[in-house]
Amino acid sequence: MKVKPAERTESVREYYFSQKLRQIDQMRKDGADIINLGIGSPDQPPSSQTIDKLASAAHKPDAHGYQSYAGIPALRRAFAGWYARYFKVNLDPEKEILPLMGSKEGIMHISMAFVNPGDEVLVPDPGYPTYSSVTRLTGGSIRYYELEEGKGWLPDIDKIKDSGVEKVKMMWINYPHMPTGARANRKIFDDLVRFANDNSILLCNDNPYSFILNNEYLSILSADGAMETAIELNSLSKSHNMAGWRIGMVAGHSEYITSILKVKSNMDSGMFRALQEAAVEALESPAGWYEQVNAIYSRRRRIVEEIMTLLDCSFDRSQTGLFVWGRIPAKKEDSEKFVDDILTGTHVFLTPGFIFGNRGNRYIRISLCADEPTLEKAKARIKEFLQQTK
């Protein structure tokens, strides 16, 4: 190549799922019937009212121009109402909410807005890989903090403090937690906010899984003093089956929101207005709509737990979210080989826990984003494979 890529690209590698999906695509081209239980992409649709609103809004002649970088007022008000109803957090829709094209872009915007080269960023292990990759791309220095199953996958604040936090600028948390499905509680949120305030750390909670098999809606912004030191990301991707629509938000103190908007306004030209109007409709869905979605996930989860049991994996039945997270048998080498053997032998793809960090190496994750017949088919294949390999 005559032109070399920027050095920052050498700090990250292609996302695991991007690579694996190419392999799966090739296997399918070669004739294999692959069942993909690896990715949390909701397979159910949004509410019919949301889809109808998208269609009607898109027919408006004035719906197709550039939109505000801060989103339409109705969408900010809808997010504020949603937070007031479910999280018991009152937000100023004019100053304390910024709609995003999905919360994943928010991770980049937040990091660019606050992380200077050399600033340390606390990242959970196991945790969402994007926290690490974005920190590297922005020149930050990653400080992993370990989460342990025996401690409910919650941060050990004393251990973090003992390691020294003088250079720490930001801390990522993610509750309900992905990939483990662990819930937080008010005490740990209060403790984390106190820790962040005492050490001038921006505490970022990534909160897209609150509505999946969970009725304990909890926001970091509900903790005393949170608005001074914390921000929260949320998304319609999982809660409203709108992953491909790319609609999210960040909430927090107006000064934090202003800093993030400085970055965002230089990176996009606003969200399609019809999407925003449809998102308003989605956010006004009644509680019964979430219950119907979760009833389906609950039935699927029973089958996935049966698959985990077949694989001799231990798991916590109280975990929440779109996945089931399980520890592989001690006799197995590691999660990557464990999953690759299953893919080769059954044409069923599961997620190896190593992609979420060193603490995930003895675990696998199975998605609930497949219908019951498909999950039963996967279970039957795995059962037959295990019988043949005894």
CATH code where residue 320 lies: 3.90.1150.10
Question: Is 77 part of any domain?
Answer: yes
- Please check whether residue 354 is in contact with residue 360, taking contact to mean a CB–CB distance below 8 angstroms: yes
Question: Is 192 part of any domain?
Answer: yes
Same domain for 135 and 178, yes or no, is yes
Residue 8 confidence (pLDDT) above 90 = no
Domain boundary among 262, 283, 304: 283
| pTM summary value | 0.94
Question: Is 52 part of any domain?
Answer: no
Same domain for 258 and 131, yes or no, is yes
pLDDT of residue 1: 64
Question: What is the average pLDDT value for the chain, to the nearest integer?
Answer: 95
* Residue among 64, 87, 21 at smallest CA distance from 234: 87
Same domain for 209 and 186, yes or no, is yes
Same domain for 12 and 84, yes or no, is no
Question: Is 55 part of any domain?
Answer: no
Same domain for 95 and 113, yes or no, is yes
Domain boundary among 283, 313, 336: 283
Which of 24-28, 48-52, 78-82, 345-349 is least confident?
A: 24-28
Q: How many domains, the chain?
A: 2
Contacts of 378 (CB under 8 A, 6+ apart): 35, 37, 307, 346, 348, 370
**Which structure tokens are listed for 343?**
């893919």
Question: Is 141 part of any domain?
Answer: yes
Stretch 119-124: mean pLDDT, rounded? 98
Same domain for 183 and 273, yes or no, is yes
Stretch 283-296: mean pLDDT, rounded? 97
Stretch 128-144: mean pLDDT, rounded? 96
List the domain range (segments joined by +) for residue 250: 65-283
pLDDT of residue 190: 98
Question: Is 186 part of any domain?
Answer: yes
Q: What's the 3-state SS for the chain?
A: CCCCCCHHHHHCCCCHHHHHHHHHHHHHHCCCCCEECCCCCCCCCCCHHHHHHHHHHHCCHHHCCCCCCCCCHHHHHHHHHHHHHHHCCCCCCCCCEEEECCHHHHHHHHHHHHCCCCCEEEEEECCCHHHHHHHHHCCCEEEEEECCHHHCCCCCHHHHHHCCCCCEEEEEECCCCCCCCCCCCHHHHHHHHHHHHHCCCEEEEECCCCCCCCCCCCCHHHCCCHHHHEEEEEEHHHHCCCHHHCCEEEEECHHHHHHHHHHHCCCCCCCCHHHHHHHHHHHCCCHHHHHHHHHHHHHHHHHHHHHHHHCCCEECCCCCCCEEEEECCCCCCCHHHHHHHHHHHHCEECEEHHHHCHHHCCEEEEECCCCHHHHHHHHHHHHHHHHHCC
Round to whole Å and give the CA distance between 123 and 136. 12
Residue 6 confidence (pLDDT) above 90 = no
Same domain for 160 and 113, yes or no, is yes
